[in-house]
Amino acid sequence: MNPHARGFFLASGTAPALGADAASTREHSGVRAIGPVSVSVRERTLHPVGPQLEVVLGDIVTESVDAIVNAANPSLLGGGGVDGAVHRAAGPQLLAACRELGGCAFGDAKATRGFNLPARYVIHTVGPVWQGGRAGEARLLANCYRRCLEVADEIGAATIAFPAISTGAYGYPANDATHIAVGTVRGTLSSVQSVRFVCFDAAVHACYEREITT
């Protein structure tokens, strides 16, 4: 194998993201590498073209994906909307697992198991409270989507479902929130292969449909 071809393999997503040192060592020691270099690091598959995006109407707790995202509050101890539905469906073990996490900052994300949910994991994120748009809400909302994808990579979740973070009790206008959601997911490099935007109402669904077809 020509070690100079590593760039191609990285871009096409079939080579380890780490392990370049092993290949360089072979190159510089004068030993000609004739097969794939064996490395002991975890392999990652990057998807430079981004994940497949889908928009669906429904209840996120029924999604059979690797991870569903919960629109939580900073305490991570439960609430209304998506948060309430996720805790009810996952069962009381979820609350116990959330207590261990010690809360979560706005724009950040943390994972737990999914317990009784069909999804293996829950990624809890805290969206911004809408205050008119001049309090850094857009940056914080984008951070939520980016951090959720980072956490998905950390736990090895390749399929993920998002609710429309902040568009319920936190009051973020759905038009703007869905624009940020789709733009950020498209613009974030990760190993996630499929993203489902799960909407509870037709108006939010229509916003997403507009976004993903433009």
The residues that touch ligand ADP, with contacts defined as CB under 6 A, are 59-61, 71, 81-83, 85, 127, 163-170, 198, 200-201, 204
Nearer to ligand ADP, 20 or 169 (CB): 169
Q: Considering only CA atoms, which of 210, 202, 132, 209 is closest in space to residue 172?
A: 132
Q: Tell me if 192 sits within 8 A of 52, measured CB to CB.
A: no
Q: How far is CA 180 from CA 133, 145, 177, 209, in A?
A: 13, 9, 5, 13
Shortest distance, CB of residue 7 to ligand ADP, whole angstroms?
40
Q: How far is CA 10 from CA 14, 95, 133, 149, 194, in A?
A: 6, 40, 39, 19, 20
Length, in residues, of the chain: 214
Shortest distance, CB of residue 60 to ligand ADP, whole angstroms?
4
Q: How far is CA 121 from CA 24, 47, 96, in A?
A: 37, 21, 15
* Residues 141-151: b if buried by 16+ CB within 10 A, e if exposed: bbbbbbbbbeb
Is 21 tagged catalytic? no
Of 21, 59, 66, 83, the active-site residue reads 83
Q: Tell me if 145 sits within 8 A of 128, measured CB to CB.
A: no
Contacts of 93 by beta carbon, 8 Å cutoff, 6+ apart: 113, 115, 116
Shortest distance, CB of residue 206 to ligand ADP, whole angstroms?
12
Shortest distance, CB of residue 175 to ligand ADP, whole angstroms?
12
Nearer to ligand ADP, 115 or 170 (CB): 170
Nearer to ligand ADP, 58 or 156 (CB): 58
160 vs 154: CA distance, rounded Å: 13
Nearer to ligand ADP, 19 or 171 (CB): 171
Shortest distance, CB of residue 17 to ligand ADP, whole angstroms?
32
Nearer to ligand ADP, 27 or 108 (CB): 108
Catalytic site positions: 83
